[in-house]
Structure 1
Amino acid sequence: MSEGVKWTVLGDDDYLEIANNGRKPVKASLRIAGDIPYYGANNVQDYVEGFTHDGEFVLIAEDGTKSVDNYSIQYAVGKFWANNHVHVIRGKSELNTKYLFYYLQTVSFIPFLSGGGRAKLTKGKLVEIPIAFPPIETQNTIVSILDSFEELSTELSTELLNRGKQNEYYRDLLLTFPEESIEV
């Protein structure tokens, strides 16, 4: 018989690992250029030599997110450098990290933020965020469906962009007249 949906919090180390200890900020002027992505609160900030983490992780903005309504959640795989503006977490055996990434995109972080002008998600509040997860097989199915949807969405966006360029080209071609054919 299949188990139902479980509820826990991001601080539950039976299901999640918070890998913040490896984070290390480096000023832009001191970074050594390389091929490894250097993540900040809102995405890749640079490419550097060296790395702080290696594996599959979800990065959650600690501070400096562009929008509190659409909180910055990133998915990182392989070697990367995380600065101190992101929390670095991943699921353990019963929690698919990519499922966690998709799930966290549906969470309102506003109740967990502190500070005025620059909202901050402290580790103390991060660990209180509730998460729901079904059995691992269901998580894997959800991830597969959402990955397919994301791929189709990217293809559609690319196609729409190309169609727009094509339309501009033909519009300009139709509205451009040789100078000798213009009579006043």
Structure 2
Amino acid sequence: MSQIEEVIERLCPDGVPYETLRTVAQISGRNIQPSAMGDATVTVYSLPAFDNNRTAERLIGSDVGSAKTALAHPTVLVAKLNPHIPRVWKLASIPNNSYSSPEFFPLVPDPNRLDLGFLYYFISTQLGKLASTVTGSTNSHKRLHREDFLGLRIPVPPLEVQHEIVKILDTFTDLEAELEAELEARRQQYHYCQRLLLSSKVSRSVPLTLGDIGKVSMCKRVFKSQTSEEGEVPFFKIGTFGEQANSFISRELFENYRMNYPFPKKGDVLISAAGTIGKSITYDGAPAYFQDSNIVWIDNNEKIVKNSYLRYWYRTVSWTTDGSIIRRLYNDQIRRTKILIPPIAEQERIVSILDTFDALVNDLNSGLPAELNARRQQYEYYRDKLLTFKELKS
């Protein structure tokens, strides 16, 4: 940081001028119909590409389907239409025959005033401010307006300062990309090991059904009149299973039902039998109640199969449902589901391996997700710090 501070002190000790975007950059490009593109291969940048982490789509011009904006210069694309208002994307190089969808403002900086990377990083700090200017009666009609966007004020330090800032922030971005790539590689490795360890290749595994290892159980039915929006004990319905409860029952009802009717033990693995079929959550023992028939569990004997092993097994199951419009997993379908059960010692070994992988790729307090989160926070801190300047008094 000392080097950039020295550069700022040398080149702009009293602050920097602030300009509106329209004075240092322009929305560039012209709309072209597919009929004018011919049969050449074209590169199309669109929001679906954003969503799927693709750089762009390669299409035949005549197959594009609607007018696109021709891109000719390095640009910053800013989403102006839902579902991502705003969102920013930097294109440092533009392939021949490149176009963007009408979902974007393609913003080209004045190279004598503004570095492309500096523009990209600055706009990324202003997304909240830009979002506050969005208008529209419904989500499908909400948009960021051109004049609001071009009226955004941006600091314009000397180009040497901009280049140094971009160099620092690019380093943070590269480190984050490396961590993301490593995390994805570890996830693939984890899924491979999970499939392998729980497959028939495991020695001495006994093929059984879930019905062989325990009874399909569920909580006693709770009626809507017995619930409230506030209360003492969370009541999880299928729509809130594994998330935040929005319904509650009284402590008295909870204790009555817990003591007199089926109720999961701490460590039992709950399964969603409707909605997201087969979603599984380990019951942590805290006071909570679960919607009958929609959330069930196997009352298994842990001398035969450990809950910790069962939790991982459920992640590999292809559940057979009734095929109706509203998908449901019935008890007999659960009972018929096949499972391979190795000896307890082998189950514990498998769980130990998978727990290590799970913590590495999913634990937000440790492993790669925690490191990635720390890097993102560090990047955002320095990005905001580096892009905040005292305004030069005229």
Mark yes or no: TM-score above 0.5.
yes
Measured in 2, the distance between the counterparts of 1:89 and 1:45 equals 23
Q: How far 1:144 moved relative to its partner?
A: 2.1
1:53-68 paired onto structure 2 within 5 Å? 53-65=264-276
Q: Give ranges in structure 1 of 5+ residues lacking alignment.
A: none
> Counterpart of 1:9?
209
> Structure 1 length as normaliser, TM-score?
0.79
Larger radius of gyration: 2
CA contact (8 A) 1:56 1:90 kept: no
| Count of aligned residue pairs for this structure pair | 170
Q: What one-letter code is carried by the residue in structure 2 that aligns with 1:102?
A: Y
CA contact (8 A) 2:264 2:283 kept: no
> Counterpart of 1:89?
298
* Higher RCO (CA < 8 A, seq sep 6+): 1
Which of 330, 344, 348 pairs up with 1:122? 330
1:167-182 paired onto structure 2 within 5 Å? 167-180=379-392
1:163 equivalent in alignment to 2:375? yes
Measured in 1, the distance between the counterparts of 2:210 and 2:306 equals 13
CA contact (8 A) 1:98 1:143 kept: yes
Q: Give ranges in structure 2 of 5+ residues lacking alignment.
A: 1-202
2:309 counterpart SS class = helix
Moved more, 92-101 or 139-148: 139-148
Give identity over the alignment, percent: 29
Identify, as 1 or 2, the structure richer in helix.
Answer: 2
- Residue by residue over 1:122-170, the C-alpha shift from the partner in whole angstroms, topping out at 9 and shown as x without a partner, is 1121111100011011101212222232223312212211210110110
How big is the alpha-carbon RMSD for the aligned residues of Structure 1 and Structure 2?
2.5
> Structure 2 length as normaliser, TM-score?
0.39
2:358 counterpart SS class = helix
Distance 1:40 1:114, change over 3 A: same
Measured in 2, the distance between the counterparts of 1:101 and 1:171 equals 41
CA contact (8 A) 1:38 1:44 kept: no
Distance 1:28 1:164, change over 3 A: farther
Which of 198, 203, 227 pairs up with 1:30? 227
Q: How far 1:53 moved relative to its partner?
A: 3.2
